[in-house]
Structure 1
Amino acid sequence: MNFNIFKVLEKDNKELIHSSFLNFLIKEDSNFANNFLGIDLSPNYTVKLESSYTYGRNKKKKRCRFDLEILEKERIIIIENKFKSFPIENQLIEYDLALKEKFPTLSKKKYLICFDAKLFNGYKDWIIKDYKNLLEYLKDYISLVVNTEKKIFITHYIDFLKEYDEKYSQFKISATDLFKNQFDNTNKFWIRLLYSNIEVELSKYFKSEKIETQIYIAPGNTSVPLLNITPKHWKLEGVDLLIQIQNGDFKFYAHTENKEFLRKMILFSKSKLVSEHLKYKNVGNKKEKTAYIFKINIHQHLKENEELTISLMIDWIISYYKSIDIKVINNYNAVDLVLAPALQSVLS
């Protein structure tokens, strides 16, 4: 199908559209709750889109929004529909806290629908489904739809959702070309989604290693998608250090305007990390609030005919984290002993 109403209206990647479609199915398809969600709904249930709640105490109040809320007399059911990203564990915990405070007497059922259910194996309190599961259900359901207009509407939804699902599966195992053009708006959507996949997996890794880390994906208005990984203990001389991934580069990065500190970190890193692919920054006189210490292009990592995959990127990030942590961060206090003559000549 060449013409698709969702694409024409440019609503195909908006999460509200997908939540609204699920709302449509709940109301129109009497078997949807039972056959897809695996529950029986009571006769007098109500459905709300984007229910927003404030919870917590005093200055620590937070806001939580449920994409789809089904309310019964003795139970609340929420469906979180994550089309543009994946939730990290803390987000799911926040949903749990909000539900507990706002609906203390009701039993609770929680669903997460996203592109990749396998990312959330082991989340026992949540029922995880992905869009592939929804497509399988819709292919059976549409054969039972008699109304022509509804059939067209559902067909359009199936067609564009199938295309997105296939692209996600493709980019997970082959994202080489995608990461070569990060200014394209369509590519930005996919790169941010893949960064979100990486964020979930890295969060699991750092949690398992008991390493407190902040992982941040820049919002949609960033010209090129950006992923920051900031271990809490990566703070030297009051400067936050991090790994940044943007526009095809892995960067060892510093949030500082202090050029003397940058020069010291560059010299010290050079003494500890040796690779022909590492490009160290030349610190000039230009005023900068942040700067990289060294960087390496993602594609330089690839061997001949090797494809860039998400699992490969995760392995690289963890490998670089370990190298920087062990060789640079943990040894930085020895900088005066190791590089005193060189530092004096450069910094004087």
Structure 2
Amino acid sequence: MYSISELDRYVSATIPAPDVTIGVLGGITLPSLPVTLTSRMVDKDFKNYALTAQLPIFVPATWFLYSAREKGENISLYTEDLTKKMIKLKVISEYYYILALVSEKRVLESEYEYAKKLNKNAKLALETESILKWQEEQTELLIKQKENAIKNNERDLKIAKMNLMNDLGLDLNADFRFVIPEDTVYKLPPLEDVVYDALINSELIKISHNVVAISKDKVKIAMSRFLPQISLGGGVIGTGLSFLDPKNILFGAVTGFLSLFNGFKDVNEYKKAKLQSEAAYIQREDVIMNTIISAVNSYNNVQKSIEDKELADMNYKIANEKYRQKKLENEVGNITAADLLNEMTELEKAASLKEKADYKYSVSVEALKMLIEK
């Protein structure tokens, strides 16, 4: 399967090739002539044929057109590579977003259980008139809030799964099991290396280079309109008429065309090509600057995600130690089950924050890799 850019290049490659044509005119019967006019000089049936060939010798525009089409094919290849990278990053981001929603769901369910426990204790306290009615209603409101949060989480999770399945080209309603990727540490290179690799491997910059080169070819094509076009032609013409001798005629010719005046069309085309070439240069500089900014921004995002990950790990470690202590206190009767459930909820929150920090770190690393890797 050929791409459009490949076919364009193949079409332009055939322009300098010889153009061969053949024509036949025959089988024509003349009406009967009076006997007095019949002659050996008149044939009732005759056939004509011709075989011609023309070869461009000096047509500069075709050379530059082929060069431009070849660069257009390069652009399509770079665009394909960039699209693959973008799809990969999008799928990775959506996958980690789903994992974050699943982690959030566990926290919400833990908070929901804690809210129900509080409401149960509040009802008992209300029966003994230890609290007021509005305080008991406040715990019921907390239950409703957690139920609503769980429903919203389920809706978001469903849409996120459908988006992922759509990007993968799978059934939107397919059920699948999520596997948490292994926690790997990415060795962050120096900022200077990141910027250099981004400039070298950026598909956008490569596309811009080819756009600039194409604009140069367009300027050359416009300039070539002021030059003559020279072609070499030849062929053979034959006839079946008996009174012609010779019946086959060979011919050859060198033809040239030079445009003298066409209403300044060629001049304006040249000016237009020059302006487009200058615009292509400016656009390339803009792409280069944006690539540098994107590389620095992605580098900073990875650094920030590393710092957030370290804080989340410390927070989880503290929450885990605190829960273990509260669990021992509950066993000896120093705190209630509701207090222990509250600490369990806090531990779930810390675990969720830790997982989200890990996911954010992984996505930021993949975004950086997309910029600096081939």
Higher helix share: 2
TM-score, L = length of structure 2:
0.19
**Higher fraction of strand:** 1
Higher RCO (Cα < 8 Å, 6 or more apart) = 2
Structure ID, larger Rg: 2
TM-score by length of 1: 0.20
